[in-house]
């Protein structure tokens, strides 16, 4: 049936906006299962011949006239108001609308349940990214993780169509038939859709409230829920001015706050003393310096039970990562937090998005439910470990990878090197083809070498040509901003080469460490893991100078480092010379072979 529905859906979308196809599909499906025809009445779409069926507002309103429940009736008729019925009168829309009704009627006659049909319709709009619903694989994971909680109600904030909350509600309902459901959504029409979906899934006694989480909550809203789910809306994570009348910000002294943390604080504020919340956020919420104080409060209160890094691109049109926070005000071991990374456990889902694999779900559940450490997947950490990492919630910082080796060292990068981020991008007026200085950017790092061929040229009097940005031999360059982590070790490039702000320069003191040994460490699998741990950002990764300065590095005997480093340098320079000679011989031989051939030689 789903394939037939998808085919009709595609036809409808060719002739009407996607949201109109969604509204119409929901209404007609509800009519099929709960309208007069479903109750044994004889009211059918106008015309006895299916080829003459005419989907109209009058028919829909008539089919819904005896639906019980005031709130449900209001929701259905408001959804009815949102449909462009005049457009359906056009000849090009009549046929796909009839086809849709035919598919829905056949599904009912074949014994498919209403909730299955509604799930298909919601799945189609999710695949198109019409309204961002929590992906099915994430809903299933959360239901697996929290499906044994003892509670009497599920609250789904920013609920959208209520799919996330319903997945867990249905799981919990198998143990408690009286399980209640509460949903909240800012948009009134989406509230109506959630109310209809809730009814179809058997939650007629539940409630859907219209509420904006970013508004200041009243005193009566505090501490009323034992289980909260919250998928922070995509595209809503702007900075907000802090209103210090807001009780959620009682101990926060910053001028601004990112909206994702207002959502997290709202869940904490409205949890009861033994409550649990599952909150889906983007990676920035885990490490952003602006909210470090808030992360500290969560840790010191013992509320962070787990953080799970999920795969990238689970949501249509959103390519960033997703993090699942499990907050528990009554967790048994206050000093312990479980960090889990299943970001590599994904597969394509057939809609250009990814989904979590079954193995990924099993690994997450095994780590969370048993408190088990799995190398490369999970780690159980004390509050003291988080304090040492400035209360970072980032799992990658705590999970030991398969290829990692341990070293016992208190040495950090700033003990042996100067770390300098480059100049801001040169002004267009500073760039000159005949400029005497080179201004390096990310593209100029190629295969761990610096290429001046593609570098911008600037005048020597440009503001970017300051001594602190000048590249010297044996300096290590690393990307400070970009999509990929790139490193290079500078050869003798002359006196007029400078770095842009997208690069950071590490100048090693040779009396304390060897630059070639440091480069080999940073470029090793171990070093790259360490660097990735201190990066922030999602698509565009940021590597701050402060984080680099605090990076731990292995301690070796200085004289041994100097000896090995000198041989590494000699070996590298010999390799580069041989490479240049091979290139020269290739081009000379090519020129000789083509000589005499007109147009080629």
CA distance 302 to 271: 14
Q: Tell me, what DSSP letter sits at residue 218?
A: P
> pTM above the 0.85 mark?
no
Q: Give the rounded percent of residues in the chain with a pLDDT score beyond 70.
A: 93
| Tokens linked to 519 | 């480069």
**Residue 370, pLDDT above cutoff 50:** yes
Mean pLDDT throughout 380-389?
A: 94
Distance of CA 405 to the CA centre of its chain: 29
Cite the DSSP H helix spans in 35-162: 57-63, 70-82, 85-88, 91-109, 114-128, 136-146
| Tokens linked to 567 | 């041989």
Among 544, 336, 563, 264, smallest CA distance to 421 is for 544
Three-class SS state of 390 = coil
Strands 207-210 and 225-231: unpaired
CA distance 553 to 563: 19
Mean pLDDT of the chain: 89
Q: Where are the domains of the chain?
A: 2-128, 136-397, 413-556, 563-601
Q: Which residues of 42-75 are buried (b: 16+ CB within 10 A; e: fewer)?
A: eeebeeeeeeebebeeebbeebbeebeeeebeeb
477 strand-pairing partners: 488, 505
Strands 322-328 and 304-310: antiparallel
Residue 332's pLDDT is 87
C-alpha distance from residue 166 to each of 115, 184, 199, 204, 323 (Å): 11, 13, 11, 12, 20
For the stretch 129-159, pLDDT in tens is: 667 689 999 999 999 999 999 999 999 999 9
Selected from 3.30.565.10, 3.40.50.150, 3.40.50.300, 3.10.180.10, the CATH number assigned to the domain covering 136-397 reads 3.40.50.150
CA distance 463 to 429: 11
Contact 474, 521 (CB under 8 A): no
CA distance 191 to 118: 16
CA distance 385 to 276: 23
Please spell the DSSP secondary structure of 518-566, one letter per residue: HHHHHHSHHHHHHHHHH-B-SSSEE--HHHHHT-B-----HHHHHHHHH
Among 183, 182, 184, 178, smallest CA distance to 152 is for 178
- Of the given ranges (85-94, 97-106, 108-117), which has the lowest mean pLDDT? 85-94
Q: Do the domains at 136-397 and 413-556 have one common CATH topology?
A: no
Strands 207-210 and 417-421: unpaired
Per-residue confidence at 599, pLDDT binned at 50, 70, 90? low
For the stretch 285-332, pLDDT in tens is: 998 889 999 999 999 999 999 999 999 989 988 878 899 999 999 998
Element (H, E) at 457: strand 456-458
Neighbours of 531 (CB within 10 A): 20
Neighbours of 512 (CB within 10 A): 12
Superfamily covering domain 413-556: DNA methylase specificity domains (3.90.220.20)
Among 554, 411, 542, smallest CA distance to 485 is for 542
């Amino acid at each position: 049936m789903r394939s037939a529905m998808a085919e009709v859906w595609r036809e409808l979308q060719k002739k009407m906006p996607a949201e109109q196809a969604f509204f119409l599909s929901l209404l007609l499906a509800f009519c099929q299962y709960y309208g007069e025809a479903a109750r044994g009445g004889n009211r059918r779409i106008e015309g006895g011949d299916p080829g003459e069926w005419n989907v109209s507002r009058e028919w829909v309103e008539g089919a819904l006239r005896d639906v019980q429940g005031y709130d449900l009736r209001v929701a259905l008729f408001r959804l009815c108001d949102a449909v462009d019925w005049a457009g359906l009168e056009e000849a090009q829309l009549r046929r796909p609308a009839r086809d849709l009704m035919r598919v829905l009627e056949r599904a009912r006659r074949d014994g498919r349940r209403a909730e299955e049909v509604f799930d298909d319709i919601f799945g189609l709009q999710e695949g198109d990214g019409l309204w961002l619903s929590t992906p099915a694989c994430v809903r299933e994971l959360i239901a697996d993780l929290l499906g044994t909680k003892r509670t009497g109600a599920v609250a789904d904030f920013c609920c959208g169509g209520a799919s996330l909350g319903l997945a867990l509600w249905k799981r919990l309902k198998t143990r408690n038939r009286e399980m209640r459901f509460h949903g909240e959504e800012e948009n009134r029409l989406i509230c109506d859709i959630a109310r209809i979906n809730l009814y179809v899934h058997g939650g007629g006694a539940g409630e859907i409230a219209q509420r904006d989480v970013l508004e200041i909550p009243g005193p009566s809203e505090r501490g009323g829920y034992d289980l909260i789910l919250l998928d922070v809306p995509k595209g809503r994570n702007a900075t907000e001015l802090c209103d210090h009348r807001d009780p959620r910000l009682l101990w926060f002294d910053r001028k601004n706050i990112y909206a994702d943390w207002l959502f997290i604080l709202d869940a904490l504020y409205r949890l009861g003393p033994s409550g649990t919340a599952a909150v889906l956020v983007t990676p920035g919420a885990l490490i952003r310096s602006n909210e470090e104080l808030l992360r500290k409060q969560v840790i010191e209160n013992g509320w962070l039970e787990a953080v799970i890094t999920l795969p990238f691109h689970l949501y249509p049109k959103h390519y960033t990562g997703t993090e699942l926070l499990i907050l528990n005000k009554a967790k048994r071991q206050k000093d312990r937090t479980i960090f889990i990374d299943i970001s590599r456990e994904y597969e394509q889902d057939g809609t250009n998005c990814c989904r979590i694999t079954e193995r990924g779900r099993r690994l997450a559940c095994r780590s969370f439910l048993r408190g088990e450490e799995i190398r490369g997947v999970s780690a159980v950490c004390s509050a003291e470990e988080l304090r040492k990492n400035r209360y970072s919630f980032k799992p990658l910082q705590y999970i030991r990878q398969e290829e990692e080796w341990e070293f016992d060292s208190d040495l950090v990068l700033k003990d042996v090197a100067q770390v300098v981020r480059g100049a801001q991008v040169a002004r267009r007026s500073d760039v000159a083809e005949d400029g005497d200085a080179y201004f390096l950017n990310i593209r100029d790092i190629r295969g761990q070498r610096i290429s001046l061929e593609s570098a911008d040229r600037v005048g020597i009097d440009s503001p970017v040509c300051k001594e602190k940005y000048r590249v010297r031999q044996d300096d290590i360059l690393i990307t400070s901003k970009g999509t990929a982590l790139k490193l290079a070790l500078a050869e003798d490039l002359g006196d007029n080469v400078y770095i842009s702000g997208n690069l950071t320069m590490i100048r090693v003191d040779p009396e304390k460490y060897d630059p070639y040994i440091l480069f080999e460490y940073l470029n090793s699998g171990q070093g790259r893991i360490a660097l990735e741990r201190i990066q922030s950002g999602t698509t565009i990764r940021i590597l701050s100078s402060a984080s680099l300065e605090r990076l731990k590095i292995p301690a070796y005997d200085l004289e041994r480092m100097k000896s090995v480093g000198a041989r590494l340098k000699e070996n590298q320079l010999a390799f580069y010379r041989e490479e240049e000679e091979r290139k020269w011989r290739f081009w000379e031989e090519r020129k000789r072979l083509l000589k005499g051939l007109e147009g080629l030689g």
